[in-house]
Amino acid sequence: MTPLKDRMIDAALPHVAFDGWSEATFRRAVEDAKVTPAQGRAAFPRGAIDLALAFHRRGDDRMVDRLAGEDLSQMRFRDRVAHAVRTRLEIAGENREAVRRATTLFALPIHAADGTRALWGTADAIWEALGDTSQDVNWYTKRATLSGVYSATLLYWLGDQSEGRAETWGFLDRRIEDVMRIEKLKAHVRENPVLSRLMAGPNMILERVRAPARPPRGEMPGFWRDPT
């Protein structure tokens, strides 16, 4: 992300609490960042929506940087995933109202695809930070599942008033546990001779599904690509 984009995001944040991720906020960000309207549009062609997406992506990048500086090797894998999600939410907590406004923006039908892609990008960033090397259908299922976990936890976090967000972290642990139960069920199916024969046909099809040839991080196949 360029310094100009960073400067515009920072300039926008004080206004988001009052005007949301709106055209008014975008215009004020252009003024406060001391850039020309043409420069602002060159950086964010769709205005406020691209500004909000860049803000979200910057949070993902900061999470990746923070995780890269930590030693997670002693954690169970499920705890690494939970820690990554918690780290991302703690970064979001630095600008909680801006995140709330972005969630409202991406809930609108016209911006639903952008919101889905942003969630996918967060899940993708987490899996890559944790060293995921899957190349088959698991590349998709891991990101889809974690997108659901993150989005549910984010909504819970936005309404959580407990001390230290303790209730959110408990909610997150329960969602991760739900995912682990699914993984255990899948392993049971693979190990059961009867069930494994029943699934032989579907599995043959799924085995042909391959991960994309390492697209830019956060790019979900079929979705508009973020210019940032």
Q: Which string of DSSP letters, residue by residue, matches 161-207?
A: -SGGGHHHHHHHHHHHHHHHHHHHHHHHHHH-HHHHHHTHHHHHHHT
Q: Answer left, alpha or beta for residue 223, where phi above 0 means left and psi between -120 and 50 means alpha.
A: beta
Looking at the chain, the whole-number percentage of residues with pLDDT higher than 70 is 79
Tens-binned pLDDT, residue by residue, of the chain (228 aa): 899 999 999 999 999 999 999 999 999 999 999 999 999 999 999 999 999 999 999 999 999 999 999 999 999 988 999 999 999 999 999 999 999 999 999 999 999 999 999 999 999 999 999 998 888 778 888 899 999 999 999 999 999 999 999 999 999 999 998 877 755 545 544 555 543 444 344 444 435 545 565 555 545 443 334 444
Q: What is the pLDDT of residues 3-14, one digit of tens each?
A: 999 999 999 999
CA atoms within 13 A of residue 150's CA, in its CB half-sphere: 31
pLDDT at 147: 93
Cα distances (angstroms) measured from residue 63 to each of 33, 43, 134, 189, 222: 25, 23, 21, 35, 25
Domains of the chain: 52-206 (1.10.357.10)
